[in-house]
Chain A
Amino acid sequence: MALLSARDLHAQYGLTRVLHGISFSMEKGTITTLLGANGAGKTTTLRALCGMVRTQGEISFDGQRIDGRATEDIVRLGIAHVPDGRGTFVNLSTEENLRLGAYVRKDRENVEADLERVFGYFPRLKERRAQQAGTLSGGEQQMLAVSRALMLRPKLMLLDEPSFGLAPLIVRELFGILRSVNEKEHVSMLVVEQNAAMALDLADHAYLIETGRVVLSGTADEIKNNDSVRRSYLGY
């Protein structure tokens, strides 16, 4: 059974319809990516999954329907969202940001150990532990956003353009860490990206979205070798 599946999702902002019946699903333990140009509806799809926009259609996670539920309740099921713009609490310290990630967890005694766990992935955050999060660099804030999500010990992570605004070297480092988190901790990931080449290297499966619909789906390799994808999104 699929870990996450969406069927016929529709969403609109005011009168502007953004999603026109998107359907997709992903298996437990995999990394799936949603590709598409600006305005295709990728961010809206992620926001729909965690109850931040009103939608019609069915969303199931881990065997239960989650459409129509409040964001706060969806988080409690183990879905961590790394939002676009990173969602940093800029006036709080790095450590406080991380502790907030574990806010809904009942096993408080393990939170300290998890702090060390994410510091293991991102040693730079440990150096910046007491620093006000708003003063971190863009790359560090993206690492912080990913780490905050990891503090939930999520079953599924939703990542909205993790490469946005970062230097290529940092992107490579970040994607490497995402890959190892997926392999070591079996955290499933749904990654939205404009940087199709990076995303296809990371992901197992991919969906191509155009103007609020899925137009192509398959394994990452199949998509990579598709002629029209290559021309339009990979540029060779």
Chain B
Amino acid sequence: MTFDALLHQVLAGLATGGIYASLALALVMIYQATHLVNFAQGELAMFATYMAWDLINRGMPYWAAFFITIVLAFVLGVLIERIIVRPVENAPVLAVVVVFIALLVILNSVTGWIYTYTIKTFPSPFPSEIGVGVYMSPHEVGAIGVTLIVLTLLYAFFRFTPLGLAMRAAAQNPDSARLVGIRVGWMLALGWGLAAAIGSVAGMMVAPIVYLDPNMMGGILLYAFAAALVGGVDNPAGAVFGGFLVGVLENVLGAFVIGNELKLAVALVIIIGVLVVKPSGFFGKVHVTRV
């Protein structure tokens, strides 16, 4: 193993890590507000990526399709929360989990039904010829750039806008949030919309690498779970850190230690390892309950 090869794998890991980080962030956003893990987050992203593919195929320029897809994904997320998730708001956890899994299966098969299960190529908006450097492909550099822009915008939104503050308040303490006049139900729907929009960016960035097919997000969602758990499932910054860490670990271990076939096992080992050793993750809060 030369230093060059290692560096190459680390950088490639950062590129996919950014994608895991985005999806992990989407998971954490929903988790913070509802204490539920949205198992359909990956399929939502996959479905949005198909919409982008459809738009591009109809002759739309890439970036126009990119931004329209983000908006469509946002609307889809809001609608799903209002129509499907809201009615089970007060249902037992298991019932909600079943709804999420049903959503996963439905989105997966509807996509297969509309677009077939044939694997498709998805374009990258970044130049294909190598020119940026020998260590990273232009798409990898571009994907990291897009991820960082998304993360920065999100941070600014939650940190500096009244609406972002209201969303954080609604997630933390719904009763108090109502008492200052925040419409908590709509904040949840907005959260779903934002999570779906972030997911759609992740989908469009990863599709040129893994190709487009209805099952493309299965593995990626698993990495995102691992990332969210490593960072602490209630900590957005931790989820982002976890995403990059899992991306690098997956690439380096896959290339030099266990081989590409077992890469997905890395995610599973991380998930189980974190749950056994430190369930609150690196940055999560330890919850203590008196009984």
Query: Which A residues contact B (CB, under 8 angstroms)?
Result: 50, 52, 71-72, 75-76, 80-81, 83, 87-92, 96, 99-101, 103-104, 148, 152
Contact = CB atoms under 8 A, between A and B. Distances in A.
Contacts of A71: 178-179
Given A87-B173, A89-B172, A90-B172, A96 B178 contact: no
Contacts of A100: 165-166, 169, 177, 180, 182
**Which secondary structure dominates where chain B touches chain A?**
helix
Interface string B181-225: 111100000000000000000000000000000000000000000
A46 to B, nearest CB: 11
B175 interface: yes
Interface in B242-264: none
B116 interface: no
B179 A89 contact: no
Nearest to B182: A103
Given A87-B173, A89-B172, A92-B168, A99 B162 contact: yes
Interface of B: 162, 165-166, 168-169, 172-173, 175-184
Contacts of A91: 168, 172
Contacts of B166: 100, 103
A84 to B, nearest CB: 11
Which residue among B165, B173, B175, B176 has the maximum number of chain A CB atoms within 10 Å of its CB?
A: B176
A80 B180 CA distance: 7
A101 B176 contact: no
A83 B182 contact: no
Contact of B182 (A50, A72, A96, A148): A72
Contact of B165 (A52, A81, A87, A99): A99
Given A99-B162, A99-B165, A103-B166, A92 B182 contact: no
B180 A103 contact: yes
B61 to A, nearest CB: 38
11 contacts: A50-B179, A71-B179, A72-B181, A75-B180, A76-B181, A83-B176, A89-B169, A90-B172, A92-B165, A96-B169, A104-B180
Contacts of A80: 179
Nearest to B168: A92
A158 B175 CA distance: 15
Contacts of A81: 179
Contacts of A90: 172-173
Contacts of A75: 178-181
B181 A104 contact: yes
A103 B162 CA distance: 7
B179 A83 contact: yes
Nearest to A158: B179
Per CB-CB distance, the 3 closest pairs between chain A and chain B, nearest first, are A104-B181, A87-B176, A75-B181
Contacts of B165: 92, 96, 99-100
